Amino acid sequence: MSLLVNTSRRVPVGRLVVYGVVLVVGLCLMFAPFLFPDVRAQEVAARICVFIVLVASYDLLIGYTGIVSFAHTMFFGLGAYGTAIALRTMGPGFDAILLGGSLGVLAALVLAVLIGLLSLRVKAIFFAMITLAAASVMMVLASQLSEFTGGEDGMTYTIPRFFSPANTLVEDADGKALRIFGVALNGRLALYYFVFLSSLFLFLAMLRIVASPLGTVLEAIRENEMRAEAIGYRVVSYRTAIFCIAAVIAALAGILRAVWLRYTGPDVTLSFDIMLDVLLMVVIGGMGTMMGAVIGVVIMTLAQFYLKDLMEAGASATADMPLLPDMLNPDRWLLWLGIVFILLVYFFPAGIAGTLMGKGGHK
Amino acid sequence: MTPSLRTENLTIRFGGHAAVNDVSCAFRPGELTVIVGPNGAGKTTWFNLVSGQLKPTEGRIFKGENDITGLSPSARAKAGIGRAFQLTNLFPKLSVLENVRLVVQARAGQGPRIFTRASSMTDIRDKAYGFVEATRLASVAHLPAAALPHGDQRKLEVALLAAMEPDIFMFDEPTAGMSVDEAPAILELIAEIKKDTSKTVLLVEHKMDVVRALADRIVVLHNGELVADGRPGEVMALPIVREIYLGVGAEEVA
């Protein structure tokens, strides 16, 4: 009975910590333009919003259902490229975002259905290989069809004027954008809130999905595929369904990324580097938790953006000491990132949220 | 009367070895049949063929009038063939209640409602809880299945089958590895199911006291073949059954 006492005492605390952290992250993102007004922080905040959606949708696959796919950035890219191409050819308008985005999402859905139906019957490792192949083909297409896609360089475009910094939402007496706490109420702010609210909506939708009857079926498939089939669930259909849902959500995240960045290229959407980031974020945060997506994305993104700065500061502070400044040289930031990862995986084997919430901690 | 379940020349070969060989057999509602035979006789393999985990090399399977040979396991479950497994086969990280709820939900068949909270579907939850109580698991309903002692896991296995509410119940050694004081709960449950004359019960079991207490009929499998079929008294008296159970010819048994 020590197990009972143990879990009932430990788990809620861990849960509270996780929910608390996620709440703080949510509040920080909600008020990011006011809390962190500099341009770089805005980039970081918007990137975190979009990646939470991307990583959480990947968690639906790998964490909840046990599907290993390497094609997730492909779907992300389809949404982004659809939007980008439409904005470039049709000009900066909401109609372009709507049409291009819809086509991107539709393409993602069709591809997901095809890949799902054709190959979710095969063993996990073969499925992973098939998604890898599909993603590679898409990358080659993106770089070869350069008239449409801008090739390796990608493409820049203008977004609707409503989202430009020159657009004043509320004018003050002088005809300039009204400032609240020193933050101008301009189009850039509107764009951030467009990204934030869309991401929030998609994330909440995913929370509903995992709490729905479907969510339990997905976990059942991950836990024991054969028994799930034996009690009457068509495993292939459920897998295909969630693969499609995740693909559509990833494509929607791609639209947000394309609109925010005003640039779309292989490096920011399709590349395997991003796929690897997504995978790491899920693992660090905790698979099959949803909350893990938030935590993983925040840690990785902050490390990617600010670890160099931190090391720079560390190096100059220790400039007089032997060896230390060398170790803290900003060029070695990847080494430190690696060490952080190893420590995280060692101390949080089920990911940060997973371990704290007691999922998979003891088996 | 039409049999509720029938296998016709059912055969499966792994390489040259016929694990189940030309078994034709029919079962009626309201009848509890115990399938006996030494280890490796093909009892579990025959079960796997009927519930769809294995595809036969030859032969056909009928549920009532319908040929179900080509159906997937999930389609057979929907058609009313329910199966409990010999080796515990649960959803280990999900709670006991969630395990059972999944089955009730599959039967309710409301389609995947993706934006309804599962916890708000109280009818399904309550029904699931009923099966949890019936199998005397209420006190551990919220523990993950993996945390249960072996006996409770076996009970949960039976709870999952009961929650399927099938026409055909297939139990594969439901009391295997259970302590003496735990087994009666399961046997009572099986006896309860047997009272419903619309249900067909198949039971693989070794314990002779269980066989005597429950069986209306005994089918004996040996080396994948059906060697005897009849009332318990008759079958147990047959020389071939005595031979098998006294271990004569045991060296042939794979």
Of the pLDDT bands very low, low, confident and very high (cuts 50, 70, 90), residue A312 is confident
Contact B117 A208 (CB under 8 A): yes
Which residues in chain A have Cβ-Cβ distances shorter than 8 Å to B146? 363
pLDDT at A359: 57
Residue A61 pLDDT > 80, yes or no?
yes
pLDDT at B235: 85
Q: How many CB pairs under 8 A join A and B?
A: 105
Which residues in chain A have Cβ-Cβ distances shorter than 8 Å to B75? 234
pLDDT at A340: 85
Arithmetic mean of pLDDT over chain A? 87
Which residues in chain A have Cβ-Cβ distances shorter than 8 Å to B89? 224, 226-227, 230
- CA distance, residue A219 to nearest chain B CA (Å): 8
Residue of B nearest to A224 (CA): B91
- CA distance, residue B90 to nearest chain A CA (Å): 7
Q: Which of B110, B147, B160 sits opposite A231 (nearest CB)?
A: B160
Residue of B nearest to A217 (CA): B102
pLDDT at B111: 59
Calculate the alpha carbon distances from B44 to A240, B20, B49 in Å: 31, 10, 9
pLDDT at A5: 40
pLDDT at A131: 93
Residue of A nearest to B145 (CA): A363
Residue of A nearest to B91 (CA): A223
Contact B77 A231 (CB under 8 A): yes
- Greater pLDDT, A93 or B244: A93
Residue type, A28: C
Residue A159 pLDDT > 70, yes or no?
yes
pLDDT at A160: 86
Residue of A nearest to B74 (CA): A232
Residue A2 pLDDT > 50, yes or no?
no
Residue of A nearest to B104 (CA): A231
Q: Which of A56-70, B44-58, B196-210 has the lowest mean pLDDT?
A: B196-210
Sheet with strand B200-204: strands edge to edge: B81-83, B168-172, B200-204, B32-36, B217-222, B225-230
Residue type, A300: M
Residue of A nearest to B107 (CA): A232
pLDDT at B251: 43
Q: Which of A211, A220, A233 sits opposite B117 (nearest CB)?
A: A211
pLDDT at B237: 82
Residue B114 included in any domain = no
Contact A231 B147 (CB under 8 A): no
pLDDT at A121: 76
Arithmetic mean of pLDDT over chain B? 85
Of the pLDDT bands very low, low, confident and very high (cuts 50, 70, 90), residue A10 is very low
Contact A217 B89 (CB under 8 A): no
pLDDT at B110: 61
Contact B93 A219 (CB under 8 A): yes
Of all residues in chain A, what percent carry a pLDDT higher than 70? 95
Buried b (16+ CB within 10 A) or exposed e, B156-169: bbbbbbbbbbbbbb
Q: Which of A219, A230, A245 sits opposite B83 (nearest CB)?
A: A230
| ipTM tops 0.90 | no
pLDDT at A8: 44
How far is Cα A306 from Cα B236, in angstroms, rounded to an integer? 79
Residue of B nearest to A223 (CA): B91
pLDDT at B112: 59
A204 in reach of chain B (CB within 8 A): no
CA dihedral B206, B208, B212, B216 (to 10 degrees): 20
**Any idea what the Cα angle at residue B101 is, between residues B100 and B102, rounded to 5°?**
90
3-state secondary structure at position A68: coil
pLDDT at A360: 44
Residue A292 pLDDT > 90, yes or no?
yes
Which residues in chain A have Cβ-Cβ distances shorter than 8 Å to B72? 229, 234
pLDDT tens readout for residues A163-221:
888 787 777 777 777 777 777 788 889 999 999 999 999 999 999 999 998 999 999 99
Contact B112 A238 (CB under 8 A): yes
A47-61, B57-71, B146-160: which is most confident: A47-61
pLDDT at A112: 95
Of all residues in chain B, what percent carry a pLDDT higher than 70? 94
pLDDT at B247: 57
CB of B201 within 8 A of CB of B219? Answer: no
- CA distance, residue A206 to nearest chain B CA (Å): 9
What is the number of structural domains in chain B? 1
- CA distance, residue B4 to nearest chain A CA (Å): 19
pLDDT at A181: 78
- Greater pLDDT, B221 or A122: B221
Contact A232 B77 (CB under 8 A): yes
pLDDT at B41: 86
Contact B89 A215 (CB under 8 A): no
CB of A207 within 8 A of CB of A214? Answer: no
Q: Which of A220, A235, A359 sits opposite B102 (nearest CB)?
A: A220
pLDDT tens readout for residues B123-173:
888 899 999 988 888 899 999 999 998 888 888 998 999 999 999 999 988
A89 in reach of chain B (CB within 8 A): no
Residue A1 pLDDT > 60, yes or no?
no
Residue in B220, B26, B74, B14 with CA at minimum distance from that of residue A239: B74
Residue in B114, B140, B188, B199 with CA at minimum distance from that of residue B164: B199
- CA distance, residue B21 to nearest chain A CA (Å): 24
Residue B206 pLDDT > 90, yes or no?
no
CB of A190 within 8 A of CB of A163? Answer: yes
Residue A274 pLDDT > 90, yes or no?
yes
Which residues in chain B have Cβ-Cβ distances shorter than 8 Å to A121? none
The arithmetic mean of pLDDT across residues B64-83, rounded, is 90
Q: Which of A1-10, A14-23, A171-180, A321-330 has the lowest mean pLDDT?
A: A1-10
pLDDT at A7: 44
CATH of the domain at B200: 3.40.50.300
pLDDT tens readout for residues B25-40:
999 998 999 998 888 8
Residue B48 included in any domain = yes
Residue B212 pLDDT > 90, yes or no?
no
pLDDT tens readout for residues A97-132:
999 999 999 999 999 999 988 877 777 788 999 999
* DSSP labels, A103-122: HHHHHHHHHHHHHHHHHTTS
Q: Which of A43-57, A132-146, A171-185, A266-280 has the lowest mean pLDDT?
A: A171-185
Residue A73 pLDDT > 50, yes or no?
yes
Which residues in chain B have Cβ-Cβ distances shorter than 8 Å to A359? 93
pLDDT at A100: 93
Q: Which of B89, B117, B146 sits opposite A227 (nearest CB)?
A: B89
Residue B234 included in any domain = yes
Residue B154 included in any domain = no
Test mutation, B54, B78, B88, B93, chain A, max A CBs within 10 A: B93
State the residue range of the domain holding B237: 5-90+166-252
Residue B155 included in any domain = no
Of the pLDDT bands very low, low, confident and very high (cuts 50, 70, 90), residue A362 is very low
Residue B33 included in any domain = yes
pLDDT at A13: 83
pLDDT at B246: 64
Residue A6 pLDDT > 50, yes or no?
no
CB atoms within 10 A of CB A138: 21
- CA distance, residue A124 to nearest chain B CA (Å): 19
How far is Cα A252 from Cα B85, in angstroms, rounded to an integer? 43
Contact B74 A205 (CB under 8 A): no
